[in-house]
Amino acid sequence: MRETTLMNKKIYIETYGCQMNVSDSEVIFSILGKEGYERTLEMEEADLILANTCSVRDNAEQRIWGRIEQFHKMKESRPDVIVGIVGCMAERLKDKLIETGKVDLVAGPDAYRSLPGLLRDISPDNPRINVMLSHEETYADIVPVRTDRNGVSAFISIMRGCNNVCSYCVVPYTRGAERSRDPETIVNEARDVFGKGYKEVTLLGQNVDSYLWKSEGRTVSFPELLEMVARISPDLRVRFATNHPKDISDELIETMAAYDNICNHIHLPVQSGSNRLLEKMRRRYTREWYLERVAKIREVLPGCGITTDVIAGFCSETEEDHQDTLSLFREVGFDYAYMFYYSERPGTLAARNYPDDVPLEVKTRRLNEIIALQTELSLESNRKDVGKTFRVLVEGPSKKNPEELCGRAGNDKMCVFPGKGLKAGDYADVRIASCTSATLIGEIV
């Protein structure tokens, strides 16, 4: 009876947070697809609504609380709809979500294989929860249902969890211990998407430099894995994120130099330019170490895109610490940055040990100063690319002008250019003629 009612049900997933969540939603579609659930893009026709959530900053969670209210309102007219919260916020808040009486299902990032079982048992007065973290789960054998729009670029998760305990960060608590995925399954997945017409894969992990597969006396490091993927075809571009400054190795930088199809872009989150704060954040590198790594990248990979993450207003940050961050930004001249102000996360080392003592208006002002500086730096960096020619992978029509195409250069910069006859997935050699702080503008040569 139950079996037949599960058939042809529709599932709608909203994904928040990082690319890892995007990749996990693809795993969930795959697991539930086998149970007869069909993906829909219309929430109104869904039988099962899942929000795959993020806890990294308080405002990420506030958005979800707002969505939970909206889902609940929708249930007034459609009481049979199942509402589930999965991902990092599910892991962090556990039964607190069930206690609202507005959520039927809660599943943490390592519990997705149990979703079919949980769904079978669910009823309005029997909400179900599984937030067990695992030391082994990598979903290695699951073929994700791709949810990207253009069929050009695919994300492949190579590891899960994180073993660094940066004092501000909730991720180790929501995603558990670090574990690496079997390299054969990664290479097979990359080969499979390439066979389906994809031209780019991005290998994902919280700290890809510490990827390490051990089995029967054999080990595979991240540079080795990268090489295995790069060898699939010179027409398959390979990207990866995120690198940790304390772990990024010469071997990785040299492997990047050895293969044309490994994109010259490194996302290297710095978080702060002040040694005192880096120590307090437990990042385990210094400003000098970071600058030396950047110098090495620039020496071996001239023109390599370098992007970063930064936090303004971490506990006890002084004006001098903030100036250290600005001066580090100037010194490196980042191509792009993801910039945030500190948001205290309950349970983290920082929340337990250091008062969140930088007033909000000071955090906001410092963040705005970093943003203003980065806008200048991005423009400066883009100007240096005017006159150069890049191999661009076409993603589709440009958002602003559908007559033109857009796609990324190897250094990760977005390029816009007229390109009659070309389509998503084609490569184009584009000569850059002008730029804004966000985009390179060029012509095919």
| Residues in touch with ligand SAH (CB under 6 A) | 56-57, 168-169, 171, 206-207, 242, 244, 269, 271, 309, 311, 340, 342-343, 345
List the beta bridge partners of residue 402: none
Q: Does 416 bind ligand F3S (CB under 6 A)?
A: no
Other beta carbons within 10 Å of 348 = 19
Residue with Cβ nearer ligand SAH (157 or 439): 157
**Of 22, 31, 49, 54, the one binding ligand F3S by CB under 6 A:** 54
| The amino acid at 412 | D
Q: Does 57 bind ligand SF4 (CB under 6 A)?
A: no
User: Least Å distance between CB 174 and ligand F3S?
Assistant: 5
Q: Does 244 bind ligand SF4 (CB under 6 A)?
A: yes
Q: Which does 54 bind (CB under 5 to 8 A by kind): ligand F3S, ligand SF4, ligand SAH, none?
A: ligand F3S
User: Least Å distance between CB 208 and ligand SF4?
Assistant: 11
Q: Which of residues 146-175 bind ligand SF4 (CB under 6 A)?
A: 162, 164-166, 169, 171-172
Alpha helices in 176-274 (DSSP H): 183-195, 222-230, 250-258
User: Least Å distance between CB 244 and ligand SF4?
Assistant: 6
**Of 82, 119, 159, 175, the one binding ligand F3S by CB under 6 A:** 175
Question: What is the SS3 assignment for 360?
Answer: helix
Expressed in percent and rounded to 5, the helix, strand and coil fractions of the chain are: 35, 25, 40
User: Least Å distance between CB 185 and ligand F3S?
Assistant: 21
Q: Does 199 bind ligand SF4 (CB under 6 A)?
A: no
Q: Does 50 bind ligand F3S (CB under 6 A)?
A: no
Burial letters 274-307, b for 16+ CB under 10 A, else e: bbebbebbebebebeebbebbeebeeebeebbbb
List the beta bridge partners of residue 265: 305
Q: Does 304 bind ligand F3S (CB under 6 A)?
A: no
Ramachandran area for residue 8 (φ above 0: left; ψ -120 to 50: alpha; else beta):
left
Q: Which of 293, 316, 318 is nearest to 306 (CA)?
A: 293
Q: Does 311 bind ligand F3S (CB under 6 A)?
A: no
Which runs of E-coded beta strand occur in 264-403? 265-267, 305-312, 336-341, 389-397
The CA distance from 150 to 396, in Å, is 7
Q: Which does 174 bind (CB under 5 to 8 A by kind): ligand SF4, ligand F3S, ligand SAH, none?
A: ligand F3S
Q: Which does 340 bind (CB under 5 to 8 A by kind): ligand F3S, ligand SF4, ligand SAH, none?
A: ligand SAH
CB-based contacts of 309, cutoff 8 Å, min separation 6: 267, 269, 270, 271, 337, 338, 339, 340
**Of 138, 157, 207, 308, the one binding ligand SF4 by CB under 6 A:** 207
Q: Does 179 bind ligand SF4 (CB under 6 A)?
A: no
The CA distance from 436 to 445, in Å, is 21
- Which two three-digit tokens encode residue 210? 């510490």
**Of 11, 13, 20, 118, the one binding ligand F3S by CB under 6 A:** 20
User: Least Å distance between CB 179 and ligand SF4?
Assistant: 14
Binding residues for ligand F3S (CB under 6 A): 17-18, 20-21, 54-56, 87-88, 170-171, 174-175
